[in-house]
Structure 1
Amino acid sequence: MHRPGAGGRSPTCSTRGFRVNHPSFQSQPKEAPLTILLASYQGADFISAQLRSIAKQTLGNWRLIVSDDGSSDGTPDIVAKFATDCAPGQVQVVSGPCQGATQNFLHLLSIAPDGPVAFCDQDDVWFPDKLARAMVALSAQDGPAHYAARTVITDAALNPVAPSRHFRRPLGFRNALVQAIMAGNTSVFNAPAAAILKQCVAPAQNHRIPSHDWWAYQITSGAGAVLIHDATPALFYRQHARSEMGRNDTLAAMTQRAGMLMSGDYAVWLGRNHAALDAVTTVFRPENRRILDRLGDALCQPGPYAAATMMRTGLYRQTRTGTAALYAAALMGRLRQP
């Protein structure tokens, strides 16, 4: 696994390893402006490395908007200095809503210009061809498309620890409603998909959804977008003491998430997501509107009925164990809304 400046090879633009839910995927790149949306807060320790990795992208046609949530550690100054080395207007810093990372990303979406967009975390390090590979995958699609990729999990010093999980079950709305697998720090959306997200962002803000990347997967899959998951890692996913979201592939992380599923936290998340999605069903395909309605029914039903409704609807997580835990939580009444 290569380290920045260590002379190792980064992943190339090969299409090997792509998972796509649409037969028309090809690898013919098209030039398109891309807006990178970076939500920052107290990021001075790591953001310089991320900005350098953006500057080294083999795809040069990008602009960067950084929404800072009131950092007091000099983060905006670091970004401003970086901007002086870029073309005039290529880098912009705006004030965030100061309501946490999810609301900051939603704010960025609401102000993003038309065209493709990419989410960006402040503490990762992108491989040089990250954006180019994403645009190769997206450029073959005429309609909305959402690209995400695996990552290389590292420690705080960027020493590789392990690749992120490779999900093997199909991508789609029945999965998106109950599990977030399209990693936000790797997600890139073509112009039609970005336009749909922007159209749906206000209810997401109002209902205080728990996770912008989970919501984005729900919106794009519900709208029938092409979903592309690249099995080749696209970046170093740095883990440190102040990581907003930690890795989810360890036994401790999976145990913690199972606990949340049973504790009622997961039920709150499902309720907020459902409310935000229910406000924008006009962008969904008819079958996905019906699936959303069935989830809404399940969230209001007593345990045995809820579990039966979810099973009939075909909702699933990426592992059999995870799906069984979902149905168990429903059966026990842990997903019922107050």
Structure 2
Amino acid sequence: MSATTPHIAILLATYNGAHHLPEQLDSIIAQTHTDWTIHVSDDGSTDDTLAILLTYRERLGADRMVLWQGPRAGYSRNFMSMLHREGIDGDYLAFSDQDDIWDTDKLEKALAAIVAAGQEQAALYGGRSRLVDEAGKPFGMSPLFARRPSFANALVQSLAGGNTMLINRRARALMCRAPETAKVVSHDWWAYLVVSGAGGLVVYDREPTIGYRQHAENIIGSNAGFGARLRRMADMVGGRHREWNDFNVELLAGMRDDLSDENRQRFDRFVAGRSGWLLPRAWNFARAGLYRQTAIGNAGLVLAALLGRL
């Protein structure tokens, strides 16, 4: 690591990603911020992924690309395993999917946005994505969220894709309050929850810095479009979010002392609002100040709260 330039550990999770992996790796290599190491955790690929990785490691050197065996328990667990690995170090950490295309200044912009926070305060950068098709051709954008990032939002909604995110050491430490084997709904939502909950810096960039590839093998696709918003509303009202919130609440309860005083009260009101009679539930949710980023999202939030589905 350089004594003056922040070193970024890039956490790349792979699983049978041979088709698009070279383009992703090439876009990382082309970054204007050049002090980085790629840490790849492969979850048991059976295609040419490992052969591609070995070719790039030979080209870059073992000090710039490090290969790890993943836990073979899904993408979120794979990313959490990398956060917990003692052999992975960096002043900042960036999450990377295996099939996207990074703008050349992605790391530089992300670093510039949160470097002033230093390392004592948790800091997280994330933002919009440029949607690209199988061939890498742009065809749209992820939703633009206008309301400020906060714990009141994070309790009921993830803000940005992990493939856009950069975090500092303090944010990593907070994320690692969840054990490596914990049921984390998604690493990006967990990052937003713990950084905002601790009163850290959350920067949401309205200008995309990645091409987020949409194809048949996407584990989680884009949430853009009116139809996607209706599906999310149906998930919330149908109770799927309650199951997710069960996992989040259990993990957050184990790190209450890390939450700011205000957010500790907000968390307690959120928990209290998830059970009991209608009027006390509604009162606790109102006092918690919860909100989602869109009007239809907030309509679903109110309905789910009234139905006891949060």
Q: TM-score normalized by structure 1?
A: 0.86
Contact 1:114 1:195 in 2 (8 A): no
Structure 1 stretches lacking a partner, 5+ long:
1-29
Among 181, 200, 204, the alignment partner of 2:159 is: 181
Could you list the per-position Cα deviations for residues 247-300 of structure 1 after superposition, in whole angstroms to 9, with x for gaps in the alignment? 111122112111111221111001111111111122211111111111111122
- For 1:300 and 1:76, the matched residues in 2 are separated by 48
- For 2:181 and 2:289, the matched residues in 1 are separated by 28
Counterpart in the other structure of 1:104: 78
Shift in Å at residue 32 of structure 1?
A: 0.4
- For 2:20 and 2:278, the matched residues in 1 are separated by 45
Contact 1:76 1:93 in 2 (8 A): no
Q: Secondary structure at the match of 2:95?
A: strand
Identity %: 37
Q: Secondary structure at the match of 1:221?
A: helix
Counterpart in the other structure of 1:19: none
Shift in Å at residue 42 of structure 1?
A: 1.0
Shift in Å at residue 197 of structure 1?
A: 2.2
Alignment of 1:249-268 (within 5 A): 249-268=224-243
- For 2:56 and 2:244, the matched residues in 1 are separated by 37
Counterpart in the other structure of 1:124: 100
Contact 2:15 2:49 in 1 (8 A): yes
Could you list the per-position Cα deviations for residues 113-143 of structure 1 after superposition, in whole angstroms to 9, with x for gaps in the alignment? 2521001011101000100111111222232
Counterpart in the other structure of 1:213: 188
Could you list the per-position Cα deviations for residues 42-89 of structure 1 after superposition, in whole angstroms to 9, with x for gaps in the alignment? 111111110111111111100011111111012122111111111332
- For 2:71 and 2:50, the matched residues in 1 are separated by 15
* 2:104 aligned partner, one-letter code: P
The size of the alignment, in residue pairs, is: 303
Q: What's the C-alpha RMSD, in Å, of the aligned pairs?
A: 1.5
Q: Secondary structure at the match of 1:300?
A: coil
Contact 1:304 1:332 in 2 (8 A): no
Counterpart in the other structure of 2:309: 334
Q: TM-score normalized by structure 2?
A: 0.94
Contact 2:267 2:288 in 1 (8 A): no
Structure 2 stretches lacking a partner, 5+ long:
none
Contact 2:132 2:138 in 1 (8 A): yes
Counterpart in the other structure of 1:140: 116
Among 29, 36, 46, the alignment partner of 1:72 is: 46
- For 2:58 and 2:269, the matched residues in 1 are separated by 52
Among 213, 217, 221, the alignment partner of 1:242 is: 217
Alignment of 1:1-338 (within 5 A): 31-111=5-85, 112-142=88-118, 143-198=121-176, 200-202=177-179, 205-206=181-182, 208-335=183-310
